[in-house]
Amino acid sequence: MGRTVGIDLGTTNSVVAVLDGGEPRVIPNAEGSHLTPSVVAFTKTGERLVGAPAKRQAIINPENTVYSIKRFMGRRLGEVEAERKIVPYKIVDGKNGMAVVEIQGRQYTPEEISAMILQKLKADAEAYLGDTVDKAVVTVPAYFNDAQRTATKNAGQIAGLEVLRIVNEPTAASLAYGLDKKENETILVYDLGGGTFDVSILEVGEGLFEVRATNGDTHLGGDDWDQQIVDYVADAFQRQTGIDLRKDRQALQRLREAAEKAKVELSSSVQTTISLPFITADQEGPKHLDEALSRARFEELTRDLVERTVGPFRSALADARLAEGDIDEIILVGGSTRMPMIQELVKRLGGGKEPHRGVNPDEVVAIGAAIQGGIIGGELKEVVLLDVTPLTLGIETLGGIVDKVVPRNTHIPHRTERIYTTAADGQTQVEVHVLQGEREMARDNKTLGQFMLTGIPPAPRGIPHIKVTFDIDRNGILNVAAQDEATGRQQSITITGSTNLPKEDIDKMVQEAQRYAQEDSRRREIADAKNRAEQMIYQTESYLRDLGDKVPVDLKNQITAQLANLREAQQSDDIERIRTAMDTLQQTTLRLGELVYQQAGAAAGGGQTSGAGQPPQGAEQEEVIEAEYKAE
Ligand code: ADP
Ligand code: MG
């Protein structure tokens, strides 16, 4: 079974995320970046490039470089006349009136182009995870119609991904912030990407998201901010040299890249320099570009662009029949919302309310998609319920029986202490074998860890008190410690990941346990009987030893024979035989018991009611000895 990922298939950039041990995580692509440009290029040599390599050669190979394919997904040619004029590649009429891309004489549907992007995301994710990826949750803008959603789903299928669900981008973003757990809240998502601007107003209650209104501008995004810098720098260069860099394709390509880089820098610093050596040349020789740009100047250059987002913001509120004050949460989505000028504007529009931060605005949608994938797959329910143990935790005791210490579904954090003892006389070490699972026998469960507690002073079996503590912290990390109470000697082991098993594993283990329940209980009965038999043998032997000559010879012989019989029965797996042998021996030793009391009564005057040699298994001790370790 392959993994499920969440994919933000963006107009400008795509992002893939996965739920990793319950935590959503963005997967870096083969180039090491979290963002994969949604660009596909066909080179002159027939090579197909996807992502950053395709973006890099866009300007020198414009007619064969497809970007913004999302604008054509599920659209008829008649619906995209405006878009068609902007892009440098050819958009033509497909067989059924749908818009298709034509490159080097071949037609590609937008689904096919998108599938090429998805294929790269899938391949990079598989390489990163070392696992197959065959299912995905893919996001789309809230305003996407049925045809656009179907096209997106088909793109996934072409790429070899089963699209479990198509989720609205603003919904995914809200999920990433855990807003699904809120009740009756109104959320505004302000999404400014590379080429599009979307405002969505959502109503959330009991985990259900309802889109109340959407608005925006399909031709407003980070690219426009870049263009302002390109124009500013090119104008300055032209004033100095008389050369218009915008007329030189390669120079323009370099300038665009430098402009975007400068813009990104100005989100965190207040000053930057755009420096492009050897940008062009004239009769006098090579020309270098060096232009300083301050954030203040940049903000002035792009003030109009910022203001253009205000209209759609207000319209969305009006459509939802809401006032500014009715918005409970504002979420910033899209790389362009990293710009301080946008953050200030949103704060102003939200009546001074701070928008949500903390999740990368250009990753938040993919993260939400991964979370949605986890909810569908059931994996996340375990995370939400991370506060319980999914399976029983215990330790192996005498006869390979599991002593269940922490039952499944126990709330964590949790702590249990139990006292165990030794199984053999003079035993100086015990092995703590920590197990997970529902089965009765140790060998049928999963070993989580094992350690030895050594240095126990030699003593008859059953005498040492070994305190074993199971401690599970808030994060599900299990610590098992064993301590010999007499000496204080202690050993412990820390086990991580005992609580976040994949759901399938858990279900499988629980089902198996049910299937084997009968067989297990029989095996447990056998083991129990053997343990009791062994205890009885030990006890009887020590009585005989203690009483010595006081036991009449015929009784002693009878007991010895019955002991041998029980020992033999104890070796078999025949419960009936063991029980019969035990019953017989018990009848005979009752007479031995009478003898002991008679002697105790006779010695009462001497004050010798008990001694060090008395059998250790008293009723009192049975209360603390809940199980015994198997002998080493
Ligand atoms: P889309 O949703 O359109 O695929 P993204 O959300 O990835 O796009 O946004 C891409 C845009 O965000 C680009 O224009 C990019 O330059 C811009 N961007 C990314 N990081 C920053 C930043 N730190 N400051 C300003 N703009 C940024
Ligand atoms: Mg986006």
Answering whether pTM is above 0.85, one says no
Residue of minimum CA distance from atom 6 in ligand 1: 334
Q: Which atom of ligand 1 is nearest to the CA of 35?
A: 7
Check pocket membership of 24 for ligand 1, CB cut-off 6 A. no
Q: Which pLDDT band holds residue 618 (cuts at 50, 70, 90)?
A: very low
Residue of minimum CA distance from atom 24 in ligand 1: 264
Q: Pick from 177, 176, 171, 223: which is nearest to 200 by CA?
A: 171
d(CA 141, CA 166): 10
Q: What are phi and psi of 451, to 5 degrees?
A: -155, 165
Per-residue CA distances from 359 to 27, 90, 209, 347, 429 (Å): 15, 37, 20, 17, 51
Check pocket membership of 13 for ligand 1, CB cut-off 6 A. yes
Of 111, 124, 180, 191, which is the active-site residue?
191
Ligand nearest the Cα of residue 11 is 1
- The type of residue at 85 is K
Following CA atoms 372, 376, 380, 384 in sequence, which dihedral angle do they give, to the nearest 10 degrees? Answer: 90
Known catalytic residue at 122: no
Q: Which two tokens stand for residue 125?
A: 């994710």
**Which residue among 12, 199, 223, 364 has the greatest number of ligand 1 atoms within 8 angstroms of its CB, and so is best to mutate?**
12
d(CA 209, CA 143): 14
* Residue 359 CB contacts under 8 Å (≥ 6 apart), including other chains: 176, 177, 367
Q: Which residues of 406-427 are buried (b: 16+ CB within 10 A; e: fewer)?
A: bebebebebeeebebbbbbeeb
Q: Pick from 151, 117, 120, 158: which is nearest to 11 by CA?
A: 117
Known catalytic residue at 503: no
Tokens 């912290």 belong to residue: 473
Q: Which atom of ligand 1 is nearest to the CA of 12?
A: 4
Check pocket membership of 68 for ligand 1, CB cut-off 6 A. no
Q: Which two tokens stand for residue 219?
A: 């031709």
- Tell me the per-residue pLDDT of 400-456, one tens digit each, with 9 for 90 and over: 899 999 887 676 678 888 999 888 888 888 999 999 888 889 998 888 888 989 888
End-to-end CA distance of the chain: 41
Known catalytic residue at 198: no
d(CA 500, CA 504): 11
Per-residue CA distances from 61 to 109, 154, 257, 409 (Å): 20, 28, 16, 60
Please name each of the domains of the chain with its CATH number.
3-220+308-388 (3.30.420.40), 222-305 (3.90.640.10), 393-501 (2.60.34.10), 504-620 (1.20.1270.10)
Per-residue confidence (pLDDT) for residue 522, from 0 to 100: 83
- Tell me the per-residue pLDDT of 197-227, one tens digit each, with 9 for 90 and over: 999 999 887 777 888 888 999 899 999 999 9
Stretch 181-197: mean pLDDT, rounded? 91
Per-residue confidence (pLDDT) for residue 205, from 0 to 100: 77
- Tell me the per-residue pLDDT of 23-47, one tens digit each, with 9 for 90 and over: 899 999 999 999 999 999 999 888 9
Q: Tell how strand 23-26 and strand 40-42 pair up.
A: unpaired
Per-residue CA distances from 295 to 203, 269, 301 (Å): 36, 8, 10
Q: How big is the chain by its Cα radius of gyration, in Å?
A: 37
User: Under a CB-based contact definition with an 8 Å cutoff, are residues 172 and 372 in contact?
Assistant: yes
- Tell me the per-residue pLDDT of 511-567, one tens digit each, with 9 for 90 and over: 777 777 777 788 888 888 888 888 889 888 888 888 888 888 888 899 999 999 999
Residue of minimum CA distance from atom 26 in ligand 1: 336
* Residue 552 CB contacts under 8 Å (≥ 6 apart), including other chains: none
617 pLDDT exceeds 60?
Answer: no
Q: Which is more confidently placed, 472 or 194? A: 194
Of 124, 169, 484, 534, which is the active-site residue?
169
CA 438 to chain centre: 24
Burial grade of 542 (CB within 10 A; 0-12, 13-18, 19 or more): middle
The contacts found for 578-586 with CB under 8 angstroms, 24 or more apart, are: 578/529, 578/530, 578/533, 579/529, 581/533, 582/529, 582/532, 582/533, 582/536, 585/536, 585/540, 585/559, 586/536
Check pocket membership of 362 for ligand 1, CB cut-off 6 A. yes
d(CA 466, CA 418): 8
Per-residue CA distances from 285 to 52, 243, 251 (Å): 32, 13, 16
The 3-state DSSP class for residue 237 equals helix
Q: What are phi and psi of 268, to 5 degrees?
A: -115, -20
Known catalytic residue at 191: yes
Report how far ligand 1's centroid is from the alpha carbon of 221 (Å): 8
Per-residue CA distances from 116 to 14, 93, 131 (Å): 12, 21, 20
Stretch 482-488: mean pLDDT, rounded? 91
Ligand nearest the Cα of residue 38 is 1
Check pocket membership of 37 for ligand 1, CB cut-off 6 A. no
